[in-house]
Amino acid sequence: MTQCCFLRVHPLSFWFWSFHRRMALALCLQVLCSLGGWLSLYISFCRLNKHRSYEWSCRLVTFTHGVLSIGLSAYIGFIDGPWPFTHPGSPNTPLQVHVLCLTLGYFIFDLGWCIYFQSEGALMLAHHTLSILGIIMALVLGESGTEVNAVLFGSEITNPLLQMRWFLRETGHYHSFTGDVVDFLFVALFTGVRIGVGSRLLFCEMVSSKPRWFVKVGGVAMYVVSWCFMFSIWRFAWRKSIKKYHAWRSRRSEERQLRHNGHLKMH
Question: Of residues 118 and 8, which shows the higher confidence score?
Answer: 118
Condensed to tens digits (0 to 9), the pLDDT of residues 19-32 reads 567 778 889 999 99
Longest dimension (CA), the chain: 119
> Cα–Cα distance between 88 and 90 in angstroms, integer?
5
Name the phi and psi angles at 90, rounded to 5: -70, 155
Query: pLDDT per residue over 31-47, tens digit each?
Result: 999 999 999 999 999 99
- The answer for residues whose C-beta is within 8 angstroms of residue 131's C-beta and 6 or more apart is 103, 107, 155, 222
pTM for this entry:
0.84
163-221 pLDDT tens trace: 999 999 999 999 889 999 999 999 999 999 999 999 999 999 999 989 999 999 999 99
Q: What is the domain partition of the chain in residue ranges? A: 27-265
Q: Name, in order, each residue with C-beta under 8 angstroms of 218's C-beta and a sequence gap of 6 or more.
A: 130, 133, 134, 137
Nearest to 154 by CA among 48, 61, 73: 73
Q: Name the CA radius of gyration of the chain, rounded.
A: 25
